[in-house]
Amino acid sequence: MIDLHTHTTASDGRCTPRELVARARAAGVTVLSVTDHDTVAGLAPAADACEDAGIEFVPGIEITAVRDAADVHLLGYFIDPAAPELAAFLAAQRQKRLDRVGRIIARLEQLGMPLDGEAILRPALEHAGTSIGRPAIARALVSGGYVASTNDAFDAWLARGRPAFVAREGATPENVIAQIHAAGGIASMAHPGLLGRDLWIAALVAAGLDAIESYHTNHDEAATKRYRAVAAQYGLAVSGGSDFHGDESHGAPNPGSVSLPQEEFDQLRRRAASRATASGSNVSS
Ligand code: AMP
Ligand code: ZN
Ligand code: FE
Ligand code: FE
């Protein structure tokens, strides 16, 4: 089983890197990538745990870009977690997340739903590498008794078009792809079926996109087939994974519940190796 899309407590996942790797091992995962939102803080502990568990580890990330007020999630693979330029870029992304979460909390207070903002922000303030987002607010809304589930929190208040939604500021997809390349990695467009903006793919390919995440929890068989065809049409590799968050009410039930076929992974790895050769840097794995 090859799962190249998972989250930990370094962003909005509920498992620590070690817990995630234990769950992955129990599920039979043989190759794992941790792809937290806008942070590499989970990669070192996950790499150590994978080594102990005999799982091949791929350093990854999921970066949020913005186009026409829509969030475009870009996955980076085989990145160098220590690349200084990437670190500075991600620190700025996380600061914008903090600002946005603070504004959403203020909006909710105006709407009659006061939350303990300090408690929500604390993990990110105490650990600069920890990335925060709307799920932390969704959980606080559940704890506060304002909604029954995090899904309801998004549907009623936090999603685009809902009363507590605050638009995010962010980098363009082209900039994010360049950041991933500069850190020695390759870029894959995350869950295009969730985004629903296939017309944007051509511009991303022109900016150097390397792969498309064809296999994903929220892609049915038809979507997987379509995005494999789109990847083939543009000469791109294919990535895939569960997008496991360790959250019963949201997303995949287990790491490995979506698996990338071995031959697709081999192709993705070749793509990373040839990009590294072209840029003269090393591919870490
Ligand atoms: P943000 O990073 O602030 O834009 O929040 C988006 C994140 O919220 C994504 O990573 C999703 O995985 C997560 N998310 C989306 N819908 C839900 C939901 N219904 N419950 C929990 N998390 C969600
Ligand atoms: Zn997430
Ligand atoms: Fe995503
Ligand atoms: Fe994700």
Task: Tell me the one-letter amino acid at 255.
Answer: P
Ligand 1, CB cutoff 6 Å, lining residues? 12, 37, 71, 133-135, 138, 150-151, 154, 245, 247, 250
Nearest-CA residue for atom 14 of ligand 1: 135
Per-position pLDDT tens, the chain of length 285: 999 999 999 999 999 999 999 999 999 999 999 999 999 999 999 999 999 999 999 999 999 999 999 999 999 999 999 999 999 999 999 999 999 999 999 999 999 999 999 999 999 999 999 999 999 999 999 999 999 999 999 999 999 999 999 999 889 999 999 999 999 999 999 999 999 999 999 999 999 999 999 999 999 999 999 999 999 999 999 999 999 999 988 889 999 999 999 999 999 999 999 998 877 655 444
Give the Å distance between the CA of 6 and the centre of ligand 4: 6
Q: How far is the CA of 279 from the centre of ligand 2 (A)?
A: 31
Q: Which ligand is nearest to the CA of 98?
A: 1
Which sign, positive or negative, has the C-alpha torsion 154, 159, 165, 166? positive
R_g over Cα of the chain = 18
> At residue 189, what are phi and psi to the nearest 5 degrees?
-80, 120
CB burial readout 214-229, b (16+ within 10 A) else e: bbbbebeeebbebbbe
Identify the nearest ligand to the CA of 5 by its number.
4
Q: How far is the CA of 13 from the centre of ligand 2 (A)?
A: 7
Q: How far is the CA of 110 from the centre of ligand 3 (A)?
A: 29
Beta carbons within 8 Å of 7's beta carbon, 6+ residues apart:
13, 34, 35, 36, 37, 62, 243, 244, 245, 246
The SS3 of residue 30 is: coil
Of the candidates 32, 30, 11, the one whose C-alpha atom is nearest the C-alpha of residue 20 is: 32
- Taking CA atoms only, the protein residue closest to ligand 1 atom 18 is 151
Strands 70-77 and 56-67: antiparallel
- The C-alpha atoms of residue 246 and residue 260 are separated, in whole angstroms, by 19
